[in-house]
Chains A and B, each alone.
Chain A
């Protein structure tokens, strides 16, 4: 089956610093990847749609200057949380689309101290 990796699996950073999360499709090419945020015991909230070679499409209410998305190749999308604050602490999940299905990475737990 299609596999998506995500790195790192967890990260702790200090307030004001930036952190980058990588999402890779390991055995297929994905022109479209998605980034989600998930709070405990809640559903996945779509943050943005990442398209290879073009600008990401952000959902309403998501700060594009804070959550920078780059989809530089057909197998890699990155999410950079800039000037992180404690309220950015969350679980971030990426997925890669293949036809009508999405395959999910294992997620990244971000803690901002």
Chain B
């Protein structure tokens, strides 16, 4: 079984600053994918970034990047130049051959003006 742990229930960051959200996971699979989803107040789940476990290079999407440490089973999300629109709940998730997502408990990020 897969588990995903987010140890930071809430975080805040000043606008234009950088923030890192932590996530650790556990899996016995060799082939898996990791994701960060954003859920703004509208509650629509939005995919922020994905990482294939077999790729060593960290994924990057504009202001969002990950630090994927496979041996440590760590998958943190860095948001650069934080914007007010980044205020949301962020969920880390994993999927493997079982094909269903396992979510972490979420981190509520507030960007302060």
A-side interface residues, number (CB < 8 Å): 20
The residues of A that contact B104 with a CB separation of less than 8 Å are 43
Q: State whether the Cβ of A104 lies closer than 8 Å to any Cβ in chain B.
A: yes
Contact B43 A100 (CB under 8 A): no
In the complex, A38 Cα to B35 Cα: how many Å? Answer: 19
Least CB distance, B43 to chain A, in whole angstroms: 5
Give chain A nearest CB distance to B25 CB in angstroms.
Answer: 14
Interface of A (DSSP majority class): strand
B50 touches A101 (CB 8 A): yes
* Given A106-B42, A106-B43, A107-B44, A43:B91 Cβ within 8 A: yes
What is the distance, in angstroms, from B86's C-beta to the closest C-beta of chain A? 18
Among A31-54, those with CB < 8 Å from B are 32, 34, 38, 41-44, 46, 49
A79 CA / B35 CA spacing, docked (Å): 26
Question: Interface on A for B, CB 8 Å cutoff?
Answer: 32, 34, 38, 41-44, 46, 49, 91, 93, 95, 97, 100-104, 106-107
New A-B pairs, 7, CB < 8 Å, besides A43-B105, A44-B45: A32-B99, A43-B103, A44-B103, A49-B100, A91-B43, A106-B42, A106-B43
